[in-house]
Amino acid sequence: MKKLAILLIGVMLVFVSCKKNLDQPDITSFPEDNVWSVGQILDSLANGAFTFNQDSQKNAIVKGYVIADETGGNIYRTFYLRGEDGKCIAVYRKGSSEGGSDDFNVKTGDHIGYKLYGSIISEYSKLPQIQVQEHDVNKLIVIYERGCDDKVRPISTTIEDINAGKHLCDLVKISDAQFEPYEGLTYAEGQNNTNRNLVTCSGEGIIVRTSGYASFAAEPLPEGRGTLTAIASVYNTTWQMLIRNTSDVKMNDVRCGGGGDIMEMPYNQVFTSSFGTYTTFSVVGDQVWTIDYSTAVMKGKVGNTFYENEDWLISSPVHIADVEHAKAVVNYVAQYTGPDKDVTAQISADYEYGDDPTNANWTDLNVTFENSAGWNDFLDKEISLDEYIGQTVTFAIKFVSSTTQSRTIEIKSIAVMEGEAGGGGGGTLTGDGTRENPYTAQDVITMNTQTSDGNKYWVKDYIVGFVDADYVYVFTSAAGDVKTNIILSSNVDPTTADECIPIQLPAGAVRDGLNLADNPGNYKQEVLIYGTLEKYFQVAAVKNVTYAEINGNSYGIEPGGGGTEYFNQTLTSQASFNTFTAYSVAGTQVWHFDSAHANYGAQMSGFENNTSYANEDWFISPEIDLSASSSPALTFEHTRGPAGSINVGVNEGYYTVWVTNNYAEGQNPNDVQWMELTGVVHATTGWAWVSSGRITIPEAFKTATCRIAFKYLSIDGASATWEVRNVIISE
């Protein structure tokens, strides 16, 4: 004991932030000649599951801090590790029936080394994990120190960022949140795993999932508003929060979202999962504002019948601060045709929150909400509120439909904020994003697109360097070993990051062909790429690049056939996925989209919990107008896996493509007549993306109501995963 005490003091001197450990097991150190970061492990996992089983990996270890342990019973046979690089992963031990395993001897706050040799690195329903194979798990773990509280603090973030996959497996903290509903509810129901809804005062929502075996399962949900600390986890496409114990939940403030309180600018309401601080009122008609597609939706059509409606979406009162300019910004999509002035922006100084709006005086702000190009093409309508500076007002959207006409509008968010409506100037663009007239890097900077609209665009400019692991823009060729990105600029000799856009290079032909570490000759060469426009390294960028041309060479899969396009959905964003209808005829598993792996596109698998289940699942496009086409053909990219299942059901027709003229939304596809489109090229190696080839659409389907569908089958005991993206119909 004395010896331990002396050692303890020694450790204290070195590691001021931690308290040291000492009921240490047999092993006190590992060789450090092969230390992996969690980031390196995750990067390798991006290419598929793997096992640390090479002779050269005998000493492989990863070092990091335990951010959640099994105490509390909500986290099962798992601890979560935050690497010394800040990246996170789950560490999972098998149960005794599977040949496992002792309890982990680690506690939250421990600084540990974990021996990787023999472990499998895989995704469990999209959750990255180190799967321990050793029975005596603690032989794999050295605890260097304990109580490293500084290293295991939660990251304060937003639900939006969690849903964007930015914190997977990390310990995060959400503020201004509350359970909804909460009355009469406990964390879990009986011994069942239970989902509860957490919503923030700005309207974002996420699931808090609790095991029926958690020590706090039967405790009531808190009534109030406050902070929640939890592990950001995922189960396939469902993002969820796992609390460690109830001390992670501090919700003692008065609840928000009753609405009606006077809000200060900036007042931003998003309608992801609720109306938040907004209220709705139906003056006429049975149809009402609803939350769907993560937006506030209003339409006056049910089935094929139009109904008369007047329906309001109304803010809490907002104080327009004493600024030079103020505006409202409505982010929306709209389609179809309604009566004149069917969607208007209104403002009132005397509206009582919750009342019938026809009892108040409203001023029509005289703006037009044009239809958007499609369901993915969200528009920002900016409306000046300069006349109301200094006043407290209520802002509303008023919707009207008739017995013959109705538009559908989906509002993602409404912000009341400082700034000049329509201001900002914005430069003019050189290109238009087509292959013939691609955007330049400067165009991408000017447009400053933060979220992909689901479409891919062509961008052409000079390769001028890459972004290194410290997020530094390096303007030289191959000065490092970064292969995952390059940067483009319209200036071949840029001096600042402001002149550049980062380009994400997904693993495969595009990365292999473009990255500067392997291809130093690409430096200062012009490249043409095809990808989504969205944020990367916190700035406007190009991601999900599937095709590139440089110096006469091409890499990846060339989209379309080059002719007029009648339909183009990437399926690499939730919005694009949502344009299709997923219909499960049989089996629990469904077509789905996973925002953490957006480039997988639409996914379907009959495999869950290590078992293959029988399924019949259709993934059906929206109506595609081919009435003016001459020789339309379908192309798409697809892949199947894992490698061991590559031959499952190919000859039996488990992965087929069909076309029809008369499918109605929501119908069982088996009640409709379809024709199979044959000649689809299938992948023959696991997870290899291939082009379907050009599949001619038969003459009979050159109509205004053509739909194509991907039909998936699996049987009990045999299935594969099918992933589909970049679905194009063109001449």
- Return the bridge partners of 604, or none: 722
Give me the least distance between CB of 578 and Ca ion, in Å please.
18
Q: Please choose, out of 113-121, 427-435, 608-616, 656-664, the segment that lies near Ca ion by the rule CB under 5 A.
A: 608-616
Distance of CA 506 to the CA centre of its chain: 16
**Residues in 165-194 that interact with Ca ion by CB under 5 A:** none
Q: Where are the alpha helices (DSSP H) in 527-606?
A: 574-578
- Return the bridge partners of 398, or none: 312, 344
Task: Tell me: does residue 44 bind Ca ion (CB under 5 A).
Answer: no
8 Å CB contact between 75 and 169? no
Task: Tell me: does residue 617 bind Ca ion (CB under 5 A).
Answer: yes
Q: What is the CA radius of gyration of the chain?
A: 28
- 230 vs 400 by CB, closer to Ca ion: 400
Give me the least distance between CB of 582 and Ca ion, in Å please.
9
- Return the bridge partners of 279, or none: 314
Q: Please choose, out of 139-147, 162-170, 286-294, 458-466, the segment that lies near Ca ion by the rule CB under 5 A.
A: 286-294
**Residues in 363-392 that interact with Ca ion by CB under 5 A:** none
Distance (Å, whole) CA 623 – CA 704:
7
Token pair for residue 132?
């321990």
Residue from 584, 691, 703, 705 touching Ca ion (CB under 5 A): that is 584
Distance (Å, whole) CA 94 – CA 522:
47
CA dihedral 691, 692, 698, 700 (to 10 degrees): -100
- 200 vs 280 by CB, closer to Ca ion: 280
Q: Please choose, out of 158-166, 348-356, 519-527, 612-620, the segment that lies near Ca ion by the rule CB under 5 A.
A: 612-620
Distance (Å, whole) CA 174 – CA 171:
10
CA angle 339, 342, 343 (to 5 degrees): 160
Give me the least distance between CB of 253 and Ca ion, in Å please.
35
- 146 vs 398 by CB, closer to Ca ion: 398
Distance (Å, whole) CA 232 – CA 171:
6
Q: Please choose, out of 139-147, 377-385, 441-449, 583-591, the segment that lies near Ca ion by the rule CB under 5 A.
A: 583-591
Q: Which of 118, 112, 36, 35 has its CA nearest to residue 81?
A: 112
- Number of residues near Ca ion (by CB under 5 A): 10
End-to-end C-alpha distance for the chain, whole angstroms? 81
Q: Give whole-number Cα distances, 395 to 263, 265, 348, 398, 655, in Å.
A: 12, 13, 7, 10, 50
- 147 vs 285 by CB, closer to Ca ion: 285
Give me the least distance between CB of 613 and Ca ion, in Å please.
8
Name the helix (H) or strand (E) containing 159: helix 159-163
Q: Give whole-number Cα distances, 412 to 34, 229, 397, 627, in Å.
A: 48, 27, 13, 32
Token pair for residue 533?
């426009």
Residue from 433, 508, 560, 587 touching Ca ion (CB under 5 A): that is 587
Distance (Å, whole) CA 23 – CA 1:
10
- 528 vs 582 by CB, closer to Ca ion: 582
What SS3 class is residue 80? strand
Phi, psi (deg, nearest 5) at residue 574: -60, -40
Name the helix (H) or strand (E) containing 444: helix 441-447
- 273 vs 287 by CB, closer to Ca ion: 287
Give me the least distance between CB of 504 and Ca ion, in Å please.
32
Distance (Å, whole) CA 178 – CA 201:
8
- 406 vs 730 by CB, closer to Ca ion: 406
Give me the residue label for tokens 């001449």.
731
Give me the least distance between CB of 342 and Ca ion, in Å please.
13
8 Å CB contact between 643 and 686? yes
Farthest-apart Cα atoms in the chain, separation? 89
8 Å CB contact between 226 and 250? yes
Q: Please choose, out of 139-147, 258-266, 308-316, 365-373, the segment that lies near Ca ion by the rule CB under 5 A.
A: 308-316
Token pair for residue 169?
């497996």
Q: Where are the alpha helices (DSSP H) in 465-541?
A: 509-514
Task: Tell me: does residue 309 bind Ca ion (CB under 5 A).
Answer: yes
Give me the least distance between CB of 615 and Ca ion, in Å please.
4
Give me the least distance between CB of 203 and Ca ion, in Å please.
22
Those residues with Cβ within 8 angstroms of residue 376's Cβ, 6 or more apart along the chain or in another chain = 333, 453, 454, 455, 573, 575, 576, 579
Name the helix (H) or strand (E) containing 528: strand 526-536
- 311 vs 453 by CB, closer to Ca ion: 311
User: Beta strands of 285-407 (E only): which ranges?
Assistant: 290-292, 295-299, 301-302, 305-306, 309-314, 318-319, 326-335, 343-348, 363-364, 379-384, 392-401
Token pair for residue 381?
């309508």
Q: Please choose, out of 302-310, 330-338, 574-582, 675-683, the segment that lies near Ca ion by the rule CB under 5 A.
A: 302-310
Distance (Å, whole) CA 249 – CA 74:
14
- 36 vs 619 by CB, closer to Ca ion: 619
Q: Please choose, out of 114-122, 279-287, 337-345, 672-680, the segment that lies near Ca ion by the rule CB under 5 A.
A: 279-287
Task: Tell me: does residue 236 bind Ca ion (CB under 5 A).
Answer: no
- 282 vs 477 by CB, closer to Ca ion: 282
- 366 vs 610 by CB, closer to Ca ion: 610
Give me the least distance between CB of 369 and Ca ion, in Å please.
18
8 Å CB contact between 165 and 121? no
DSSP 433: S
- 176 vs 608 by CB, closer to Ca ion: 608
Residue from 37, 44, 195, 282 touching Ca ion (CB under 5 A): that is 282
Task: Tell me: does residue 290 bind Ca ion (CB under 5 A).
Answer: no
- 115 vs 299 by CB, closer to Ca ion: 299
Q: Please choose, out of 219-227, 276-284, 528-536, 707-715, the segment that lies near Ca ion by the rule CB under 5 A.
A: 276-284
8 Å CB contact between 598 and 544? yes
Q: Count other Cβ atoms within 10 Å, centred on residue 481.
A: 12
Q: Please choose, out of 439-447, 458-466, 559-567, 581-589, the segment that lies near Ca ion by the rule CB under 5 A.
A: 581-589
State the number of CA atoms in the 13 A half-sphere of 664 facing the CB: 5
Give me the least distance between CB of 668 and Ca ion, in Å please.
13
Residue from 100, 128, 285, 357 touching Ca ion (CB under 5 A): that is 285
Residues in the chain: 731
Q: Please choose, out of 261-269, 320-328, 577-585, 645-653, the segment that lies near Ca ion by the rule CB under 5 A.
A: 577-585
Task: Tell me: does residue 402 bind Ca ion (CB under 5 A).
Answer: no
Q: Please choose, out of 46-54, 362-370, 584-592, 651-659, the segment that lies near Ca ion by the rule CB under 5 A.
A: 584-592
**Residues in 484-513 that interact with Ca ion by CB under 5 A:** none
Give me the least distance between CB of 589 and Ca ion, in Å please.
5
For residue 349, the one-letter residue type is: A
Task: Tell me: does residue 342 bind Ca ion (CB under 5 A).
Answer: no
Phi, psi (deg, nearest 5) at residue 718: -150, 125
Task: Tell me: does residue 311 bind Ca ion (CB under 5 A).
Answer: yes
Task: Tell me: does residue 316 bind Ca ion (CB under 5 A).
Answer: no
- 431 vs 587 by CB, closer to Ca ion: 587
- 114 vs 658 by CB, closer to Ca ion: 658
- 402 vs 584 by CB, closer to Ca ion: 584
Give me the least distance between CB of 282 and Ca ion, in Å please.
3
- 342 vs 617 by CB, closer to Ca ion: 617
**Residues in 441-470 that interact with Ca ion by CB under 5 A:** none
- 398 vs 638 by CB, closer to Ca ion: 398
Give me the least distance between CB of 315 and Ca ion, in Å please.
19
Q: Please choose, out of 149-157, 311-319, 401-409, 670-678, the segment that lies near Ca ion by the rule CB under 5 A.
A: 311-319
Task: Tell me: does residue 615 bind Ca ion (CB under 5 A).
Answer: yes
Give me the least distance between CB of 298 and Ca ion, in Å please.
8
Residues that bind Ca ion (CB under 5 A): 282, 285, 287, 309, 311, 584, 587, 589, 615, 617
